[in-house]
Amino acid sequence: MQYSIRLCLLLHNSVASSRLLRTSARPSWDLELTKRLNSTANGLSFTRKLLLLFNWLSPLTVITAQQSVPFSREHSTPKSSSRPFLHALLHTPPPVLLEFVHALADDAVTYYKLGLFGKKFGQRAERFSDWCWLLATLVGLVENGVERQMIGRLQSEVENRLYSESMTGATAKSNPKTSKADEKELKRLQRQDYWLRITRAKLLMDLIFVCESGSCHT
């Protein structure tokens, strides 16, 4: 809902700005409607930020899990030892580390909007959060593309196998287990590819609005 409103506003504002070149001013009802929609989108965005408070706990769990070492170097018997947190942090996969930093920056922005932090700190946190958002979106698009390629290859293999079975007469009656398993796998892959396409559309929307937000800060 939030992105639908923002997309409509983005298209509306671009059309309205082109009309301003030919007319003197926008009508009052247009300005009022735009103001209300902006307020609604900002309210939805703030509500989402509140619901995502402490979202950094999930990547933090992954980071702290790397501190546990299954075997101690001093003893040959199994023993759980602990690495320093900084060591685990430096050896964290970049996407997990980016998610952790981004979630902390989002929380700082939320606390600023709640009035717990000052304006100067809040604006810096907002700029930093936008940069994290941009990097996370680009990483997500790359990962999404790789996953879709893998799903596409698997889907082609299953479809070719089903086609070969149909050409050789291996129908569901002659070989029911294989055919049903392939059909079930194909449906699963198609469903997974559908949600990957939905995720890609959401990431593209993220990219549009984070670029728009970044242009407002500059």
Tokens 């937000």 appear where? 213
Q: What is the mean pLDDT of residues 118-122?
A: 89
* C-alpha to C-alpha distances, 6 to 109, 140, 214, nearest whole angstrom: 20, 21, 15
Q: Which of 60-64, 99-103, 109-113, 172-176 has the lowest mean pLDDT?
A: 172-176
**Domains present along the chain, CATH in parentheses:** 36-117 (no CATH), 134-218 (1.10.287)
CA distance 179 to 181: 5
Rounded Cα distance, 171 and 108, in Å: 60
> pLDDT (tens digit, 9 = 90+) per residue, 4-29?
887 787 777 777 666 655 555 667 77
Strand partners, 69: 81
pLDDT at 71: 47
Say what the pTM is. Answer: 0.69
